Amino acid sequence: MTELILFNVFNGLIVGAFYALMALGLSLIINLTSVINFSHGGFLALGAYIAYELAPYLGFWGALILAPVLTAVLGLVVERVMIRRLYGRDPLYSLLLTFGLAYVFEDGLRYIWGAQSLPFHVPDWLTRPLSTYFFFLTGYRVFMVVLVAVAVAALFLILTRTRLGIRIRAGTLDLETVSVLGVNVRILRNLNFGLGIYLAGLAGVLAAGLLGLQPTIGDALIMPSFVAIIVGGLGSLFGTLLGGLLIGVAAGIATVFVPSASEAIIYIMMAVVLLFRPRGLLGEEGMNL
């Protein structure tokens, strides 16, 4: 029993790390530009497939480094060609645009790589169990959690230490003033979008190693990512991180006791949070975009 609970809590932590990684990217984009990026799951899947194509030439590690970067570059292009045109209009339009894009992504990936699941190989030494007692604890699972932790730490460092990050955070609070102070808002939004998509691509490569590739690999993550943002509170990246981990672990624990409710539990959590604290756990007052 203890082992089962431990397994599910750890598994929940992994799942939560994915939610958080994806939700952080979404949250970055929402905070600065009020765009709910529905195509985030599509970008995640794309990152996974790019890694799949790169892996034979660069190996797992090369793909892990390069695929998210290439995904981010595509994100920069999409922002520049399409999403940029909709700033200043009702946020509804960008939401709708990215929803259409999500369809294009999913079916486009299916068209190119097929609907069937493709394997994505991770180095053998990573897939071996770490201990005979905790058979579930493979190196890859631990590696994923560690890498997500590193990525999140790096993100927070970027946001607090670099000029770009400080501008992003300032723009989140008051984009107009930032623009008046001479920051090129066009570039700022572009880079911010790319940063968010980078995180999606990274999540995609990691997920591919765990689950294999499917065009819908991002679908199962996008709604929980919304929930993570809502539970954590709009406008707070730290809240988003907390929300993602929280719902991941909650779903993991629910798997032990009420397996059939493991997916619904996160929405119930969301309802409870909304009931008592409509702006989310760490949400900023007045961030109802």
Partner 1 sequence: MPYWMGAVGGYTGLATRVVVLGLAAMSVNFLLGFTGVLSFGHAAYFGLGAYGAGMLLKYVAPSTTLAILVGVVVGTLAAAAVGALIVKLRGIYFAMVTIAFGQMFYFIAFRWSSVTGGDDGLTGWRRLPIDLGFTTIDILDNAEAYYYMVLLIFAVSVGIMALILRSPFGRTLLAIRENERRARFLGIPVERHIWIAFVISCFFASLAGVLYALLNNFVDPRTLHWTLSGNFVIMAVVGGMRSFWGPLIGAAIFVVLQDYVSSYTQNWMFFIGIFFVLIVLFFPRGVLGIIRKRLS
| Residues at the contact surface with partner 1, assessed by CB under 8 A | 30, 34, 36, 38, 82, 85-86, 89, 91-93, 95-97, 99-108, 110-111, 223, 226-227, 229-230, 234, 260-261, 263-264, 267-268, 270-271, 274-275, 278, 288-289
To partner 1, the closest distance from the beta carbon of 104 in angstroms equals 4
CB contact at 8 A, 121 and 48: no
- 3-state DSSP helix/strand/coil % of the chain, to nearest 5: 80, 0, 20
Looking at beta carbons only, is 149 or 271 nearer to partner 1?
Answer: 271
To partner 1, the closest distance from the beta carbon of 110 in angstroms equals 7
To partner 1, the closest distance from the beta carbon of 90 in angstroms equals 9
Looking at beta carbons only, is 33 or 141 nearer to partner 1?
Answer: 33
CB contact at 8 A, 24 and 237: yes
CA distance 148 to 143: 8
Torsion over CA: 228, 231, 234, 240 (sign): negative
Looking at beta carbons only, is 91 or 123 nearer to partner 1?
Answer: 91
To partner 1, the closest distance from the beta carbon of 265 in angstroms equals 9
To partner 1, the closest distance from the beta carbon of 30 in angstroms equals 7
Looking at beta carbons only, is 100 or 129 nearer to partner 1?
Answer: 100
To partner 1, the closest distance from the beta carbon of 247 in angstroms equals 11
The DSSP result for 186-239, as a single string, is: HHHHHHHHHHHHHHHHHHHHHHHHHH-B-TTTTHHHHHHHHHHHHHH-TT-HHH
Looking at beta carbons only, is 132 or 260 nearer to partner 1?
Answer: 260
CA distance 244 to 22: 9
Looking at beta carbons only, is 146 or 268 nearer to partner 1?
Answer: 268
CA distance 205 to 24: 16
- Give the count of beta carbons closer than 10 Å to the beta carbon of residue 149: 12
